[in-house]
Every structure is written in C-alpha cells, then in structure tokens.
Amino acid sequence: MTPGTRRTITGFSNPTVKALRALRDKKHRKREGRFLAEGLRLLTDARECGRLPETLVMATGRDPHPLLDALEADVLAAGGDVIETGVDILSKITGKDNPQAVAGVFAEFDTTLERIDRSAAPIWLVAQALRDPGNLGTMLRTADAVGAGGLILIDDCADPFSVEAVRASMGAVFTQAIAQARWDDFIAWLCGGPGSEQGGQLVAASLRDAVPYRGAAYAAPCFLLVGNESRGLPEEYEMACDLRVTMPMRGRADSLNAAVAGAVLAYEVLACLDPQ
Amino acid sequence: MTPGTRRTITGFSNPTVKALRALRDKKHRKREGRFLAEGLRLLTDARECGRLPETLVMATGRDPHPLLDALEADVLAAGGDVIETGVDILSKITGKDNPQAVAGVFAEFDTTLERIDRSAAPIWLVAQALRDPGNLGTMLRTADAVGAGGLILIDDCADPFSVEAVRASMGAVFTQAIAQARWDDFIAWLCGGPGSEQGGQLVAASLRDAVPYRGAAYAAPCFLLVGNESRGLPEEYEMACDLRVTMPMRGRADSLNAAVAGAVLAYEVLACLDPQ
C-alpha cells in the first residue's frame, strides 16, 4: 500500500476545507459515503476497533500526545492523508466554537441487517423513527454501556453518521453494530426468514396491555424497541412485540425521553439477564 | 384586575416580535426575568399548575381547540396580553421551522433553595455544572416521571429557562420545583443549617469507592447527584455524599450521558423506596 501524504492547509477557501465542512450536511454525506468524527478519544476508540480515518485533520499548535502520534502513524501507513490546519479552520469544519484538536473522516459502514450477528450479545436496542440525532447517539452510548450488540434503526430515523449523533455516541458509533431497515424486513429477519437462525424476543416500551418493566420475563437475545419522540410506536408495531412493558409514570407526563426510556429498560434487562 | 388586551401583529420588525425573539438569548432573558414556552400541551400543563403566561402568542389560521380557548380566556382575565400573528413570525420568535401554534411568555420563578420543601417528595434530582440545556430539560422530565420533587442545580449549570431546556422538559419545568445554589450553600441546607428540618440522603453516581446501584440502601428524601457531562463530579463532592453507587459498564465507555445516568438511578431508587 502506498503511504499517505501529509500537508498543511492555511486558507478557509481551500477546497479540502469546503469538502470536509460539507460532510456536516446529510445529502453531501450520503453522496460521499463519508462522515466526520472529532476528538482524540473517539478516534482512538475507532482505531482500537479497527477503524482508521481516511483523512486525519489535526490542529497546529496542539499538545503532543502519544496516542495522537500512534494514530497519525497508522493513518499514514494505511495510505490515508494527514492534514494540519489552524484551530479556526478546524472550528469551521466541525461547527464547534472550541473544536477538539483532531478530527477524522471515515467511510460510512455497511448498515444492512444481514451484518448483524444476534448471537454476539444478549441485548439489542431498536429505535423506530427516532428523529433526534442526539437521542440516537445517546442510545448508542447506552448500548455500549450495557454490553449490547448494537442499535437497529427502523423506518425513517436520524442519520447515525451525523456530527451530532457521532458526538453524542462518545465513540460507540465505532463499537456498536448499526443497522437500518424497514419494519417488515426487520420482522422477517427477526422471526426467521432466510438468514435468521435463532429468532429473538421483541420487547416494547408501551402503555398498552403491558406488564411492569421491573423483573419482566426477558429472554436473550432481547430486542428493546423504542418509538418516535413525539408519536411513540405505531400500535401495530407494539402488538407485534413478544412482550410489552411499562415504566411507572408518577407525574403529569405519560412518557419519557426516548433515549432515557431505552436506557432504563436496557439496565433492567441487563440486571435480569445477567445479574452480578 | 384590568383585563388584558388582544391585538394582531403582522410585521417582522414589530418591536414586540423583536422583544419576544430576544428571549432566546440568555442575557436578555435574565434582564427581563421572562422566558418562552411553546405548545398547547405545555401551556395547558402550566395553567393546570397555576402558571399563566403574561403574554400569549397564537398563530393566525390555527385549528380551534377548547383548551386554547380556555387558556386565552384565563390570560385575558388575569390581565395578560394576547397576540395573534402569522406562523412565519411565530417561527422567527421560537427559532423553529415548524413552530407550535401557540407560545407564551412567563415570568421566571424564584429558584432559591429556601423554596424547596424536601418533605414533599421521596426523590430529588441534583445536577452539578450540567452544561447542556437538553440534558437539563430531560432531567426535569424524568423527575416528573418518577414523582420527584424537583431539580436542584449546583454551580454553573445551563439555564433551566432556555428555550431548549423548557422544550426538552415537556412541561416539567412547570410541575417540578427548580432551585439554583452553590455547593457550599446546598450542603449547608441539606445537612441542617437554618431552615433545614429533616436532612436528606445525598447519593452520587460514581466510580470511586461505590456500591452497586441495584438495591443499594436508599433512604427518603433521597437526593441523586449527577455531575458535569465531560468531567463528572469533583472528587470532594463525591466524598461528601452519604452513598456512592455505580452502574455496570460493560463496554468500552466508562460513563453514561448525564441525563441517562440520572434516570437509571432515579428509577432504581423509585423501585427500592416505593415498590408497587
């Protein structure tokens, strides 16, 4: 493999700066099949999961760090590019006032359902029409924390490769499997269509015909389904679930933030399936 | 009391539109002592909690609704103003592409610690240096759901009256008590300085010298302390707690989103203190 190149960019109007900045826009991101991730910690997580950025962008005048040196060496060895530029330009690229000293451009992953190995973990999170990229990233972060296998996105969800989702995931976008599917395809896959071997328990956070979430009869692999932020789950989706569970609502509200509901449920499932 | 007035505004450059729009800016909000809340549901929650907007802004061409009529009548009877304006202007005021059909301007509440009646609820959430208004609003929403009394904000937190926090709270900004305090003042209040009668158990989500969060010895009134999004809690704050609890971290990450950590903990405390 040809080693990558190293260069310095000083101008805001440099076409590379424009191309990197454009990755904050979904349409452009999909056309390029690339996304941005920021921060040494995130990029190190990615590297340790076998994901290297194609392009590494570093701030001039940054503090030296052995992990950054290692990352740079790996990127160059893999044929990637390393760009040094000013903090002001990095700020423009990432859209943050106080940008991290380093950012990377990654190729988007394959997010087909067929890539999911359900036997790899006892818990999987499933989100339906989740619109907020911060909620999506937070669910990835929670999935990592409970030792889930990944996050399956049903119907029209926010883009898991948006800057906001990647940021909120705190690196879990690299550690968790991510799949995107239509409901019918997901159900066919889950229930044993071609390519399915073990099935799985589909659990909905629900108010309809539901049992208390605490100590419910969870079974691995358990797929926890959370609905859209304002509409919740369609009734037919809830009714297709193996188990509907409900959380106490002691106040005026009748629902939780979607990422919060998923997390409370995921920790309960973890405690039931894997008490330690 | 003199009944309020009703008027229509059609111009973007109208000074009232500018003044309302400026409430999205913290400095202006603090100077005015006013904040914005959007949506019929939120405003109805507020009304049922005895909070009426001083000014009610409604979109022309909105769908009629009995709750909106009731709100309008109450606002006028209380001497408040009712403004009708176009959806485009409402969008400019709230900063949302698809604005709700109604918004209100409220006087900020008194957020001194002395207003908190700790005997009113078994659970209280406490956040230290929480910077993200979305996280803050989400914690208010969770506090409502678990039947907590309110949210106490320690040190330099996001503004609970920002548009983002109010929106994420889904109305809980009106149902939950909110206090803002420095750490030393909070500890003095909690431990029985003047004005304190019952004390309370301070519990930290922590990795240091902590017991498993599941089934820990929680006691009411239980104050659940969650730290800053990136730095967590200062060690001395953790050490001042009566109980430090830790949640399983099965992945690469060593922490959860602050609002998620607070919610998982709050639901565990609810299950322990008040099983049903």
Choice between B96 and B39, residue whose per-residue pLDDT is larger: B39
Both tokens of B265, joined, read 């903990």
From its phi and psi, is residue A112 left (phi > 0), alpha (psi between -120 and 50) or beta? beta
**Contact indicator for B136, B160 with CB cutoff of 8 Å:** yes
Determine whether the interchain pair B175/A251 forms a contact, defined as Cβ–Cβ distance below 8 Å. Answer: yes
Residue B194: the pLDDT is 53
Q: Tell me if A141 and B257 make a contact (CB, 8 A cut-off).
A: yes
Q: Which residue has the tokens 């087909």?
A: A112
What string of pLDDT tens digits covers the 276 residues of chain A?
688 889 999 988 899 999 999 999 999 999 999 999 999 999 999 999 999 999 999 999 888 999 999 999 999 999 999 999 999 999 989 888 877 889 999 999 999 999 999 999 999 999 999 999 999 999 999 999 999 999 999 999 999 999 999 999 999 999 999 999 999 999 999 987 555 456 899 999 987 789 999 999 999 999 999 999 989 999 999 999 999 999 999 998 889 999 999 999 999 999 999 887
Q: Which segments of chain A belong to CATH 3.40.1280.10?
A: 113-273
User: Does residue A134 sit at the B interface (CB-CB below 8 Å)?
Assistant: yes
Using the structure block, give the residue that is written with the tokens 């968790």. A176
Picking from A265, A39, A68, the residue whose alpha carbon sits closest to that of residue A166 is: A39
Residues B125-183 have pLDDT tens digits of 999 999 999 999 999 999 999 999 999 999 999 999 999 999 999 999 999 999 999 99
The strand pair at B222-226 and B201-205 is best described as parallel
Separation CA B267–CA B201 (nearest Å): 16
ipTM for the predicted complex: 0.92
Q: What is the pLDDT of residue B254?
A: 86
Please check whether residue B142 touches A, CB under 8 A: yes
Question: B138-159 burial by CB neighbour count: b if 16+ within 10 A, else e?
Answer: bbbbbbbbbbbbbbbbbbebbb
CB contact under 8 A, B251 and A168: no
pLDDT of residue B68: 94
Phi, psi of A194 (to 5 degrees): -55, 135
User: Residue B268: how many CA atoms within 13 Å on its side-chain side?
Assistant: 27
**Spatial contact of B125 and B226, defined as CB atoms under 8 Å apart:** yes
For the segment B12-19, the average pLDDT, to the nearest whole number, is 90
To probe the interface with B, which of A136, A264, A268, A273 has the most B CB atoms within 10 Å?
A264
Over its C-alpha atoms, chain A yields an Rg (Å, rounded) of: 20
Among residues A146, A203, A140, which one has the least CA distance to residue A167? A140
Instruction: Test B138 with A257 for CB contact under 8 angstroms.
Output: yes
Size of interface A-B (CB pairs under 8 A): 112
Closest-CA residue of chain A to B171: A253
Q: Which two tokens stand for residue B131?
A: 């910077």
Best B256, B268, B273, B276 member to test A by mutation, with max A CBs in 10 Å, is B256
Q: Which of B134, B145, B255 sits opposite A249 (nearest CB)?
A: B145
Q: Taking Cα atoms as reference points, which of A243, A136, A214, A43 lies closest to residue B215?
A: A214
Binned at pLDDT 50, 70 and 90, residue B193 comes out as: low
Q: What CA dihedral angle connects B189, B195, B197 and B199, to 10 degrees?
A: 0
Give the H/E segment covering residue A178. Answer: strand A177-181
Residue B21 DSSP label? H
In eight-state DSSP terms, residue B80 is -
H/E stretch holding A106: strand A102-107
Does B250 contact A138 at a Cβ distance shorter than 8 Å? no
Flag whether residue B134 sits within 8 Å of chain A, measured between CB atoms: yes
* Residue A56 host element (H or E): strand A55-59
What does the pLDDT look like over A133-173, one tens digit per residue? 999 999 999 999 999 999 999 999 999 999 999 999 999 99
Contact assignment for B141 to A253 by CB distance below 8 Å? yes
Cα A167 to Cα B245: distance, rounded to the nearest angstrom = 26
Q: What confidence score (pLDDT) does residue B4 get?
A: 85
Any A CB within 8 A of B270 CB? yes
pLDDT per position as a tens digit, A260-273: 999 999 999 999 99
The verdict on B257 touching A (C-beta cutoff 8 Å) is: yes
B131 phi, psi to nearest 5 deg: -95, -20
Domain with CATH 3.30.1330.30 in chain B: 6-107
Phi, psi of B144 (to 5 degrees): -60, -45
| CATH 3.40.50.1110 is the classification of domain A6-107 | no
Q: How far apart are CA A263 and CA B249, in angstroms?
A: 12
Examine the pLDDT at B8 and tell me if it is beyond 90: yes
> Which chain A residue is nearest to residue B44, measuring alpha carbons?
A252
CATH of A113-273, one of 3.40.50.150, 3.30.70.270, 3.90.1300.10, 3.40.1280.10: 3.40.1280.10
Tokens of B30: 């603090």
Confidence label for B95 from pLDDT (cuts 50, 70 and 90): confident
